[in-house]
């Protein structure tokens, strides 16, 4: 790093909780940052996008209890920017809506440092929207105000003009108001707001644990206490609250309240869960990287034209295989007349993306299914004598199929094209989420995802899965789970991501 490199701070709003509400620009800043200073009220998945070599600094900011003071946060932003680093100050909601982003920006401006503000979706608009409450409506309310609910309303010289708020604004939105709900409602009523005015309190808006209670201005304080509503919560006051009964779209979704843990990289196959209201939390327990050595694969590629069959077991295997073929300067035509077998439709799609035809997709997507398919194709199931197979696969894999091929007289080469390693990050965050009881379904799509999960969670692993439904993709993974002394709640008949997704949907609906 050169000494004249200029640092820059991005004040980024991460939104209210639903990861889909974070802006594209905010996500780009997060991915590029050398330093990330983040608060408590964030969707933990957002932090998965921090690059591996970035410095992560937890600033706290939870219910009045701060790990770091605002002055300390300002000092860190200034210090890292002066060192020429790109800093992402990641804040819940919007940085300039009661987020002290203005104070941080002033501290940077005072030091002559470059900064940029990336607005986020504020809970003041998002929580009501997810509760089915429009803040404005042409026939009901044409104005709204957002007010901090934590100010001491009894102090002299309050910055809040209560007499104007009570009678001059259509919809009132209070943030962080739960602790002061008694005095806030009393202040509004005493300044002319009718006690029968509709009120909604939305806790954890935009998240699976969202909870909405409805009452009136005169009675909401008691209802909040009765229902033990605690922060974070947004309070909406006004006639627009009456529209909730007709417009509550989020809480009416069939899988609302479900949070599904995905222990593999999220590619495709779970979109329907999200569409139906579940939140899919991605915390991979393994990372796909190149094999320890390319030598075995390179040797096999030297004789590509000699194989009768090339078997791909995953889309990742396809990707690494053809990337290596290209790196060696070899031509796809060297595959010659080899037929191609793909384990599962997604693997077949990956092969076909290279304009290659897939000759066989076994009905059963595991070693036993492969054995059956090739036995039936060759000599009526008697043997595989003279048949040559290339099986590029993971560094660590089951030996059932290769052993059976050799037993039946065939030749098979099994060069590794990738390996699954345990990621260094995310373990602590995943453990915290499980301890808080936020996961309803945990999915394991291979034995490796489960065994790595156990290792990452340590001695607490089994305890953390208590009360969590375990979903597996097939019998091999199910066996690993049962060997660990746990039970399998969900397993599809077909070992595909789509079938697993459908099985989770059916399980969730059956529990309602």
22 catalytic per annotation:
no
Q: Report the distance separating Cα 217 and Cα 197, nearest Å.
A: 5
Strand order in the sheet with 339-342: 339-342, 309-312, 388-390, 411-413
12: phi then psi, degrees, rounded to nearest 5: -110, 130
Of 168, 163, 171, the closest CA to residue 240 belongs to 171
- CA 264 to chain centroid, in Å, comes to 11
Report whether the peptide linkage leading into residue 232 is cis, meaning its omega lies within 30 degrees of zero.
Answer: yes
Q: Report the distance separating Cα 43 and Cα 7, nearest Å.
A: 27
Q: Report the distance separating Cα 496 and Cα 480, nearest Å.
A: 18
Contacts of 299 (CB under 8 A, 6+ apart): 415
Give the three-class secondary structure for 362. coil
Neighbouring CB atoms inside 10 A of 104's CB total 24
Residue from 22, 34, 61, 497 carrying the catalytic annotation: 61
Give the three-class secondary structure for 268. coil
Q: Report the distance separating Cα 73 and Cα 89, nearest Å.
A: 9
Structural contact between residues 209 and 140, judged by C-beta atoms closer than 8 angstroms: no
Q: Report the distance separating Cα 348 and Cα 334, nearest Å.
A: 20
DSSP secondary structure string, 130-175?
HTT--S-BTTTBS-EEEEES-S-TTSTT-S--HHHHHHH-SEEEEE
176 catalytic per annotation:
yes
Environment class of 406 (CB within 10 Å of its CB; exposed 0-12, middle 13-18, buried 19+): middle
Q: Report the distance separating Cα 409 and Cα 381, nearest Å.
A: 12
Residue from 22, 176, 235, 301 carrying the catalytic annotation: 176
Environment class of 379 (CB within 10 Å of its CB; exposed 0-12, middle 13-18, buried 19+): middle
Contacts of 341 (CB under 8 A, 6+ apart): 309, 310, 311, 312, 358, 359, 360, 361, 362, 370, 373
61 catalytic per annotation:
yes
> Which residues belong to the active site?
39, 61, 176
């Amino acid at each position: 790093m050169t000494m004249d490199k200029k640092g820059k701070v991005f004040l980024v709003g991460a939104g209210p909780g639903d990861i889909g509400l974070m802006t594209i620009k905010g996500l780009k800043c997060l991915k590029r940052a050398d330093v990330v200073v983040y608060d408590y009220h964030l969707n933990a998945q957002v932090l998965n996008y921090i690059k591996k070599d970035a410095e992560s600094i937890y600033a706290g900011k939870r219910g009045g209890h701060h790990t770091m003071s605002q002055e300390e946060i300002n000092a860190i932003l200034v210090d890292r920017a002066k060192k020429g680093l790109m800093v992402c100050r990641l804040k819940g909601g919007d940085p300039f809506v009661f987020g002290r982003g203005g104070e941080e920006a002033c501290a940077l401006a005072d030091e002559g440092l470059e900064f940029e503000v990336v607005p986020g979706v504020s809970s003041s608009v998002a929580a009501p929207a997810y509760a089915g409450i429009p803040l404005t409506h042409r026939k009901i309310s044409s104005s709204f105000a957002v007010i901090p609910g934590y100010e001491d309303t009894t102090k002299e010289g309050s910055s809040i003009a209560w007499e104007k708020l009570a009678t001059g604004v259509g919809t009132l939105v209070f943030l962080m108001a739960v602790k002061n709900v008694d005095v806030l409602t009393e202040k509004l009523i005493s300044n002319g707001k009718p006690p029968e005015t509709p009120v909604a309190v939305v806790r954890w808006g935009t998240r699976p644990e969202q909870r909405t209670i409805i009452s009136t201005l005169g009675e909401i304080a008691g209802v909040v206490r009765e229902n033990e509503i605690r922060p974070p919560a947004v309070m909406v006051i006004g006639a627009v609250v009456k529209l909730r009964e007709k417009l509550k779209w989020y809480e009416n979704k069939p899988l609302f309240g479900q949070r599904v843990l995905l222990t593999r990289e999220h590619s495709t196959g779970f979109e329907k869960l999200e569409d139906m209201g579940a939140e899919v939390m991605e915390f991979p327990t393994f990372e796909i990287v190149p094999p320890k050595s390319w030598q075995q694969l390179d040797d096999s590629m030297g004789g590509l034209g000699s194989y009768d069959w090339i078997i791909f077991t995953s889309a990742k295997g396809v990707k690494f295989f053809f990337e290596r073929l290209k790196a060696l300067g070899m031509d796809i035509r060297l595959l010659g007349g080899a037929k191609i077998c793909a384990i599962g439709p997604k693997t077949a799609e990956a092969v076909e993306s290279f304009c290659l035809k897939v000759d066989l997709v076994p009905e059963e997507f595991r070693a036993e299914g492969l054995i059956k398919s090739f036995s039936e194709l060759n000599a009526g199931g008697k043997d595989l004598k003279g048949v040559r197979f290339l099986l590029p696969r993971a560094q660590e894999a089951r030996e059932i199929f290769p052993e059976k091929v050799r037993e039946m007289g065939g030749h098979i080469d099994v060069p590794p094209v990738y390996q699954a390693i345990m990621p260094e990050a995310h373990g602590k965050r995943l453990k915290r989420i499980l301890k808080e009881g936020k996961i309803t379904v945990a999915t394991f799509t291979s034995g490796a995802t489960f065994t790595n999960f156990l290792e990452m969670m340590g001695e607490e692993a089994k305890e953390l899965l208590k009360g969590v439904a375990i979903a597996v993709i097939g019998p091999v993974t199910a066996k690993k789970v049962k060997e660990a002394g746990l039970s399998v709640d969900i397993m599809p008949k077909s070992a595909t991501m789509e079938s697993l997704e459908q099985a989770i949907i059916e399980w969730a609906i059956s529990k309602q």
